[in-house]
């Protein structure tokens, strides 16, 4: 008999420690003082941005501000397998600027445009050591839903890393929005989305991406959280087997030593079966059934995911120069 899948909600039923209760009280006090705005927690050497006491948005090492501390952010850089030499990256959602800083530092030939709807988040850019705007970097205060369709089609990568306390933002999770992303991407461009939620919530999103990107969609769960990273490629310039050759590229490893691209290629999931090509309502239904089945095998209890702030902090501080996805 198959083992029942553990509900993710059960992960939060353990009684918190005294230390955890004190941490929660600190966050509650900071949130009350912020009066509904994002707020910062300093716990040296870490600095964190919170949207609410239960929703951390970003974390940074004050002494190493360009380091990607969270496995999901390192996994988002997996777009390099599909497009190793981007010239323009658009980020939808700024947060603490982890990806902005990493790309600015490690992709010197790439222009970076970040679009953030929350002016209070942008106001924290200096506290999170985000570089000033220059010829390569622009941070724009705008609603991406309105801003994106007005742009020229010249992005090699679009990072979709914008969510609220409920997960996917409805206006950024529609067939129309994904169509706009598709139009803004160059021929071999990649949309990379960081999302979280139940399989029943994520399945419609993946279905829309399959329809828009002709089934060129891959996904993987982060190694230290329940975030799902999704890669949608406009036109595949190589078959999947060639990705293994790219991840062995010495230049990629030299320029990005903290990204374990081999782990990524070994664990990416996709549905390439032509039976699920969404050309009819019936095939769409079959695709959704297969997607939710796959997601239910991925989004299950994971002992590697920190269950408290203490565990999270320990995980982050134990990263070193050779840190990997796992």
Q: 151 CB contacts (<8 Å, ≥6 apart)?
A: 90, 184
Distance in angstroms (rounded) separating the CA atoms of residues 94 and 111: 15
Task: Tell me which DSSP letter residue 277 carries.
Answer: -
Nearest to 271 by CA among 293, 303, 250, 296: 293
CA distances from 3 to 6, 40, 297 (A): 9, 41, 11
Does the active-site annotation cover 63?
no
CA distances from 127 to 40, 62, 97, 143, 164 (A): 9, 9, 10, 23, 21
What are the tokens at 185?
């991407």
User: Which member of 161, 224, 239, 273 is catalytic?
Assistant: 161
Distance in angstroms (rounded) separating the CA atoms of residues 99 and 256: 13
The total number of residues shown for the chain amounts to 326
Catalytic residues: 161
């Amino acid at each position: 008999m198959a083992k029942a899948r553990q509900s993710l909600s059960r992960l939060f039923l353990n009684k918190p420690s005294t230390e955890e209760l004190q941490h929660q009280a600190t966050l509650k006090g900071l949130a009350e003082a912020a009066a509904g705005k994002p707020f910062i927690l300093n716990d040296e050497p870490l600095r964190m941005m919170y949207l609410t006491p239960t929703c951390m948005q970003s974390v940074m090492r004050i002494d190493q501000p360009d380091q990607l501390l969270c496995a999901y952010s390192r996994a988002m850089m997996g777009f390099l397998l599909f497009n190793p030499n981007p010239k323009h990256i658009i980020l939808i959602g700024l947060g603490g600027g982890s990806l902005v800083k990493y790309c600015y530092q490690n992709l010197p030939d790439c222009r970076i445009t970040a679009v953030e709807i929350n002016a209070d988040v942008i106001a924290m850019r200096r506290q999170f050591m985000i570089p000033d705007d220059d010829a390569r970097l622009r941070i724009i205060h705008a609603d991406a839903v309105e801003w994106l369709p007005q742009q020229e089609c010249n992005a090699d990568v679009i990072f979709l890393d914008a969510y609220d306390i409920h997960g996917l933002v409805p206006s950024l999770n529609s067939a129309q929005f994904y169509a706009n992303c598709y139009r803004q991407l160059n021929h071999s461009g990649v949309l990379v989305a960081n999302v979280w939620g139940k399989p029943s919530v994520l399945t419609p999103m993946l279905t829309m991406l399959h329809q828009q990107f002709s089934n060129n969609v891959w996904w993987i769960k982060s190694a230290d959280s329940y975030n799902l990273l999704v890669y949608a490629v406009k036109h595949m310039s190589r078959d999947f087997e060639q990705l293994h050759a790219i991840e062995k590229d010495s230049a990629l490893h030299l320029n990005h030593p903290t990204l374990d691209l081999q782990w990524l290629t070994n664990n990416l999931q996709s549905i390439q079966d032509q039976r699920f090509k969404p050309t009819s309502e019936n095939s769409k239904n079959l695709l959704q059934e297969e997607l939710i089945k796959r997601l239910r095998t991925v989004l299950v209890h994971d002992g590697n995911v920190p269950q408290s702030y203490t565990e999270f902090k320990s995980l982050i501080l134990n990263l070193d120069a050779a840190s990997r996805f796992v």
